[in-house]
Amino acid sequence: MSTPYEAASEAAVALAEKTGVERHDVALVMGSGWLPAVDALGEAVAEIDIADLPGFAAPAVAGHGGKLRSVRSGDTNLLVFLGRTHYYEGLGVAAVAHGVRTAAAAGCRAVVLTNGCGGLKPEWAPGTPVLIKDHINLTGTSSIVGANFVDLTDLYSPRLRALCQEIEPDLDEGVYVQFPGPHYETPAEIRMVAAIGGDLVGMSTTLEAIAAREAGMEVLGISLVTNAAAGMTGEPLNHEEVLEAGKAAATRMGELLGAIVPRI
């Protein structure tokens, strides 16, 4: 039985064969609401079903694509994941981290992790992009296998965050908190998040970020606030509204990523 790292190497070999691109430079994982932004990144060289690569499963969530696109942006080869495997799908931590590990094995030196999330700050209206400056992992697990002690002090690259704010000076930053899901958080849980220093809540990203750091990649995290967190407005949370808010902000996201990625 292969290790998660061997499985990623196998997937990277298959990726090169199916896309015709020998090596990729930067990976992007596109979360809820970010998919339409991909078209602004550059010319699509190839697009394949993610389930056609070893170790990947078909998407299980509405609004999350199941494609992998190779995009040429200037001199840079981008590996764009249109969708991701979530921890709540029950496939295990290795499946969640398989995408970023495959990207690392394919040559990527950096990864941009995006997500749609709930925001705790009232000034963050739906459609607001927020840089992730740190995270709190409430899944109760890690994507690292064995006694490999990885430093996460500056997990979310200060260099890349500064670059984003140079391009778009009004970009705010926040601490992202991952719950296991798939249920949304309760108002009491959101009050707990505020008490422990969280600003954004979602069901992805932290386990991928840890795996990316272990693999030696530079990590940029960007959350798209798609709704106010539970209890902030008194309104119930709704997955369709999350998707709709994301679509409405897709143009701005595409412009932001289009400006940032060539400089990574």
Catalytic residues: 185
Write the Ramachandran bin of 197: left for phi over 0, alpha for psi from -120 to 50, otherwise beta: left
Q: Is the dihedral of CA 113, 101, 110, 208 positive or negative?
A: positive
Q: Is the dihedral of CA 142, 165, 26, 82 positive or negative?
A: positive
CA–CA separation, 224 vs 246, rounded Å?
Answer: 7
Name the helix (H) or strand (E) containing 61. none
CA–CA separation, 106 vs 14, rounded Å?
Answer: 10
